[in-house]
Structure 1
Amino acid sequence: MERFLSLPFYLCAIGLIFSCQTVSSDQQNSERVKEAGPSPDQLIVVSVEEWSDFQGVLQAFERNDQGRWEEAFDAFPIVIGKNGLALGIHQLKGNQALKREGDLKTPAGMFSIGSAFGYAPKPLPGINLSYHPVTAQTMCIEDTASQFYNQILEEDEVQADWSSTDRMLRKDNLYEWGFFLNHNSPDAVPQAGSCIFFHIWRGADRGTAGCTAMSPENMIKLLEWIDPQKHPVVIQAPRSEALFFPSIPTVDSLANSSLDLIRMGGFFQDSNRPVNQSGR
């Protein structure tokens, strides 16, 4: 039976808050919170059992009018990189290996969301993210020596300086719908990983090259739920990390606390840097 854990676990497990059991005075922490980015009102949680697993689940949470976190819809299955997870760049460092180009691992951590993309000339009516229509010229650059590393672009609009690229108009339709995850973006660091998407899967038993993938209907459902005005973030983490956090508060106690702990995630990554909403 699939095991699910509460929302606060994911925040603790990847070091997004200073402590889940001891928090100093609200006045002291409120000064720190002011430095973080906008508080998210939507949260996408991708989890697998262990760091090396590629099959897992996706849960979506949204803050209601009373400030309480609620599950937006039933969890559904996903697959990640064939070799599991590795710590994404700008995340709190631990004992795990960092994400590297070509390692077939999905970055673990907390990330903002970039542009949606798809094969249709225009997005579906329910998609509110900025949208990049995929054509025969659309590619994401994987060459670490390129000035366009980890960017989605149109081949006929720039002077090519790459030898390795991910052409996005595919016969298998993996990129018919999806979105760009803001990992190693903007100001991409060479070799830290590129072209990390949420997209359609080959199947529930097929891992990816580092992206997070799901069924076509679930990909569309997720895209139509995401509201950029609610500052959505993605957390990707292994459930096995719960072993290090034996005492975890409930979702309600987190949502109702006078200090919004989620915003403290900004201290462990470059969350105040502008995100690449266009994927370019």
Structure 2
Amino acid sequence: MKALKAQGLKPAKLIVRALSQGARQGRLEFGNFSAPCALGRSGITALKREGDGATPRGRFAVRYVYYRPGTRRPRTALPLHTIRRDDGWCDSPADRNYNRPVKLPYPASAERMWRSDGLYDLVVVLGYNDAPRVRNRGSAVFMHVARGNLEPTEGCVALRPKDLRRLLSMLPRDCEIVVSI
């Protein structure tokens, strides 16, 4: 995105809007693409805290994609990485690797990326609280596969698998997501 900004260009934007104040579902739009999405169990907040179950409001870079081997490789212009069984994401605010990928087992608290429920079979890492990282402001805010009938997340944005795959096939390398109420 720095290259685009240096040229005076704006990055492509995904827009996520909650259906109402405190809503746990919303709508994600990108150009002509529009799909329902799940939000955090506590809705959207401007003051995100670790473990609050809220989706952070704001503008965040879309960094890269993880996908699980054995599932169909997504078509995308975004950087693509495979998830390995020992991949984790540190969610311990006191740890030096807070809100960063880590290898499991890890001495501090870390979320497992290789999940049996399929939610992380396809994961888009968002640039939330990563540069700079602020303790207790929240970690592991992703866009990932939705549970059931768009059930609430722990703070992420989640889409039905077919919608997430379709969206990924349209996204340019430099883009951002805007989450609002």
TM value normalised by structure 1:
0.59
1:115 to 55, 64, 86: 64
Match of 2:49 in 1: 100
What are the equivalent positions in structure 2 for 1:2-81 lying under 5 Å apart?
39-61=9-31, 71=32, 73=33, 75-81=34-40
- In structure 1, distance between residues paired with 2:147 and 2:19: 21
SS in 2 for 1:57: strand
Shift of 1:205: 4.4
State the match for 1:146 in structure 2.
Answer: 95
Please tell me whether the aligned partners of residues 78 and 204 of structure 1 are also in contact (alpha carbons under 8 angstroms). no
- SS at the partner of 2:163? helix
Q: Which structure has greater helix proportion?
A: 1
SS in 1 for 2:167: helix
In the other structure, the counterpart of 1:68 is: none
Which residue in the other structure is 2:156 paired with? 211
TM (norm. structure 2) is 0.89
Contact 1:123 1:131 in 2 (8 A): no
- Equivalents in 1 of 2:126, 2:16: separation in Å? 13
- Displacement of 1:124 in angstroms is 2.8
CA deviation map 1:172-208 (0-9, x unaligned): 1100012101000133110001000000011234100
Structure 1: segments with no counterpart, 5+ residues: 1-35, 62-70, 88-97, 239-280
Is the Cα–Cα contact under 8 Å of residues 25 and 37 in structure 2 kept in the other structure?
yes
RMSD of the alignment, in Å? Answer: 1.9
* Contact 1:121 1:133 (8 Å CA) reproduced: no
Q: How far does residue 41 in structure 1 lie from its aligned partner after superposition?
A: 4.4
Matched, 1:234 2:173: no
Gaps in structure 2 of 5+ consecutive residues: none
Distance in 1 (CA, whole Å) between partners of 2:123 and 2:43 is 20
Q: Is the 8 A contact 1:139 1:168 kept in 2?
A: yes
Task: Work out which of the two has the higher radius of gyration on C-alpha atoms and give 1 or 2.
Answer: 1
